[in-house]
Structure 1
Amino acid sequence: MTFTREPAGPPAAGRNTRRQLPSFLVIGVLSTLFYLLLFVVARSVTGAQAANLIALAVSAVANTAANRRFTFGITGSEGALKDQLQGAVAFLIGLGLSSGALALLDLLVPDASRPVEVAGLVVANGLATVARFLLLKVWVFRGR
């Protein structure tokens, strides 16, 4: 079995970033919708923090796999586990931001409705997305 890596294009970082951002944004929007759906479903049977952990863990694995293939052009399974483990750092940042947002919301609005919880998570997820792109680009998929 042969594993291939598509060429990353010219070495100019700006050109690569312009090529990668549209794919990253589409994957990010789809991942966020998937995450929020999972959160709402899990939230119906568990607390906010547990629902957040479940939803974020599942969607982060899918997000890293999709960005690996479509944003950074890496095909095949060679290195996939390592990429997922490195992507876990971005997951932990996202978990910290979203858990913090939920804790702050619980402190400020103890009986917040699901739409208010989701709105808080959207803001936290937006911040985590910026961190995720930077980590994936400069560390996880650097030079590929």
Structure 2
Amino acid sequence: MATAAPPDSAPVNPAPPDADRGVFAAPLAWLRKKPALLAQLRGFARVAVICTIISMTIFTALRPTMGTQWANTISLVLCSVLNTDLNRRMSFGLRTRHLWWRDQRRGLGVMFLALVMTAGSLWVLHRVSPGASIAVELAVIVLGNVASAVTRFVLLRYWVFRRVRHGAGAKNAGAQTPAGAAATSDGAPVLP
């Protein structure tokens, strides 16, 4: 007696129906091939949320007594130190104090980009709408920070923490590497 051939079985891991469609399909596919960069971007996004909340809180507290521009400047400078330190740890896997002061000086340089964008945005806002509410000012500051975020990430990755990319963290033996990153024999993360 002849047996019937089994029907063709479905693929084990079928692709999601929208896998090949959409504006973000190609960039997301490329990003999935770069786990270290993806880990850095995730850490950067977490730090951005934390620092934005803290910066807006400081701004809101200082604005009534110091004015808009001074409150913005002070909140950005204070949060810059926190931002650089958190990005060292959460985005780039640097856990020791080696080169901390240099990183902070460079981080302040990167902060000036956000300061110029937010101060300029506030200046334009007050020329267009002199009686703008604090909610509108906060929205303008957040939008200015978002606009500078891409440049900030690039500067952090390729200037402030470039030693991570080149494996030059010899004094960083206690560092934990971000997910997907390789490590040198001394434990320093090497990222693509």
Q: Do both proteins adopt the same fold according to a TM-score greater than 0.5, normalized to the shorter chain?
A: yes
Alignment-derived partner of residue 140 in structure 1: 160
d(CA) in 2 for partners of 1:127, 1:16: 24
Deviation, 1:127, is 1.1
Match of 1:102 among 122, 127, 137: 122
Q: Which runs of 5+ in 1 are unaligned?
A: 1-12
Partner of 2:49: 29
Q: Are 2:87 and 1:70 aligned?
A: no
Contact 1:90–1:128 (8 Å) recurs in 2: no
Identity of aligned residues (%): 34
TM-score by length of 2: 0.67
> Structure 2: where are the runs of 5+ without partners?
1-32, 165-192
Counterpart AA for 2:115: L
Question: Pairwise CA RMSD of aligned residues?
Answer: 1.2
In structure 1, the residue matched to 2:81 is: 61
Other structure's SS at 1:111 match: coil
1:48 maps to a residue whose letter is: T
* Distance in 2 separating the partners of 1:129 and 1:36: 16
- Cα shift at 1:48: 0.5
What secondary structure does 2:34 align onto? helix
Instruction: Quote the offset at 1:143 in angstroms.
Output: 3.5
Write the deviation string for residues 57-114 of structure 1: whole angstroms up to 9, x where unpaired. Answer: 0011100000001110111111000001111121110100000011000100001110
Q: Distance in 2 between matches of 1:91 and 1:107?
A: 24
For residue 110 of structure 1, give the secondary structure of its aligned residue in structure 2. coil
CA distance in 1, matches of 2:38, 2:90: 14
Pairs aligned (count): 132
1:84 aligns with 104
Higher RCO (CA < 8 A, seq sep 6+): 1
Amino acid in the other structure paired with 1:109: S
Q: CA deviation at 1:47?
A: 0.9
Higher helix share: 1
Taking structure 1 as the reference length, the TM-score comes to: 0.88
Q: Displacement of 1:15 after TM fit?
A: 2.9
Which letter does structure 2 place at the counterpart of 1:60? Answer: S
Give the secondary structure class of the aligned counterpart of 1:143. helix
CA distance in 2, matches of 1:67, 1:54: 20
Q: Which residue of 2 aligns with 1:6?
A: none
